[in-house]
Amino acid sequence: MEKEGLGLEITELRLGLPGGSAPILVDKNEKKRVFSDISGDHDNSSTDWKLTQTKNQTVGWPPVCSYRRKNNFQEKDRLETSKMYVKVSMDGAPFLRKVDLSMHKGYSDLAVALEKLFDCFGIGESLKDAENSEQVPIYEDKDGDWMLMGDVPWEMFIESCKRLRIMKRSEAKGFGLQPKDSDHKGNSKDVAK
């Protein structure tokens, strides 16, 4: 419904300021490197995105009868493991996915899972070589900041990660992404290719 769509844009999985303004690098403290992105409503994938958000609120969709939903849509856990599901989005993919962070042992394990989920390569590489990889995995932490995945120890990451996004290198252009071992104190280096 149109009404629903308008209301829910506020809660969309987007970064930064709508309408397109210059990218900003916000450097809050030594331990964190955050970058903000622009939400650019340029192409179809973003539109699908919007729909993805509204969908989550749509009652009775997809039209599967409630009996089937109860039986199939919930995982029947024989073991009561605590799950740490976070939503993952990838630029260009019309669907959100979800991963259970507690199921993975570390960043490389997670990277492999993400590559399988989205049928793509390069996430693992990006962890080793942030400058040159095609995919840039970032995550939103508890404070609402977007951080480059892979910087903090794994345990700290899974505790604070609220959601993941796999950005295209081209989107990340000019955001002043800092390599791991660079100066953290507010100096943005332009490493755009």
Query: Between residues 93 and 136, which has the closer beta carbon with respect to another protein?
Result: 93
- CA–CA distance, 24 with 38 (Å, rounded to integer): 9
- Please answer whether residues 49 and 125 qualify as being in contact, where contact means their C-beta atoms are separated by less than 8 angstroms: no
Work out how close the CB of 68 gets to another protein at its nearest, in angstroms, rounded to a whole number: 6
Nearer to another protein, 25 or 120 (CB): 120
CB of residue 116 to another protein, shortest distance in Å: 10
Considering the complex, state which of residue 64 and residue 156 has its C-beta at the smaller distance from another protein. 64
Closest separation in Å from C-beta 115 to another protein: 14
Positive or negative, the CA dihedral 126, 193, 89, 150 is positive
Indicate the SS3 state at residue 110: helix
- Least Å from the CB of residue 30 to another protein: 35
Residue with tokens 């490197």: 33
**Residue whose CB is less far from another protein, 24 or 96:** 96
> Could you tell me which residues come within 8 angstroms of residue 109 by beta carbon, excluding any fewer than 6 positions away?
none
CB atoms < 10 A from the CB of 72, how many? 10
Ramachandran class of 186: left when φ > 0, alpha when ψ lies in -120 to 50, beta otherwise: left
Interacting residues with another protein (CB under 8 A):
1-2, 44, 48, 51-52, 55-56, 58-69, 71-73, 75-76, 85, 94-100, 117
Nearer to another protein, 57 or 187 (CB): 57
Shortest Å, Cβ 95 to another protein: 7
